[in-house]
Structure 1
Amino acid sequence: MIDDESTPSPVRAAKPPRKSTKKAAVSDENNWDQRLGFLMHDVSRLRRMVFDNFMKPLALTRSQWWVLAYLSRHDGMIQSDLASVLELGKASLGGLIDRLEESKFIERRPDAYDRRVKRVYLTSSGVQTVKEMRVLSHEMSEQILEGLDQQQRQQLTDMLTQVKRNLLAIKVDSGADSGADD
Structure 2
Amino acid sequence: MNQQAQLPTRKKKASAPADNAAPQNREEGWDQRLGFLMHDVSRLRRTAYDTYMKPLNITRSQWWVLIYLARHDGMIQSDLAKLLELGKAALGGLIDRLEASGLVRRGADDSDRRAKRIYLSAAGTKLIKEMQVRSDQMNERILAGLNAEDRENLTDLLTRVKRNLQAIVRDNE
For the aligned pair, the TM-score class normalised by the smaller chain equals 0.7 to 0.9
CA distance in 1 between partners of 2:112 and 2:26 (Å): 58
Once residues 51 and 45 of structure 2 are traced to their aligned partners in structure 1, the CA distance between those partners, rounded to angstroms, is 10
Note the aligned Cα RMSD (angstroms): 2.5
Q: Compared with structure 1, are the counterparts of its residues 153 and 26 closer, same or farther at alpha carbon in structure 2 (3 Å cutoff)?
A: closer
Q: Say which of 107, 115, 126 aligns to 2:124.
A: 126
* Residue of structure 2 in register with 1:172 after alignment: 170
Q: Which runs of 4+ in 1 moved over 4 A?
A: 17-22, 25-28
Residue 115 of structure 1 corresponds to which residue in structure 2? 113
Residue type at the aligned position of 1:130: I
One-letter code of the match for 1:110? A
TM-score calculated relative to the size of structure 2:
0.86
- Structure 2 residue identity aligned to 1:84: K
Match of 2:69 in 1: 71
Q: Which structure is richer in relative contact order (CA contacts within 8 A, separation 6 or more)?
A: 1
Greater per-residue helix proportion: 1
Q: Within 1, Cα distance between the matches of 2:77 and 2:114?
A: 11
1:93 corresponds to which residue?
91
Using the size of structure 1 for normalisation, the TM-score is 0.82
Letter of the 1:167 counterpart: L
Among candidates 11, 16, 26, match of residue 6 of structure 2: 11
Q: Which moved more, 1:135-144 or 1:107-116?
A: 107-116
Figure out how many residues of one structure are paired with residues of the other and give that number: 163
The aligned counterpart of 1:148 is 146
Q: Which ranges in structure 2 are unaligned for 5 or more consecutive residues?
A: 16-22
Q: Structure 1, residues 147-181: CA drift from partner, whole Å, max 9, x if none? A: 10111011101111111111111111111xxxxxx
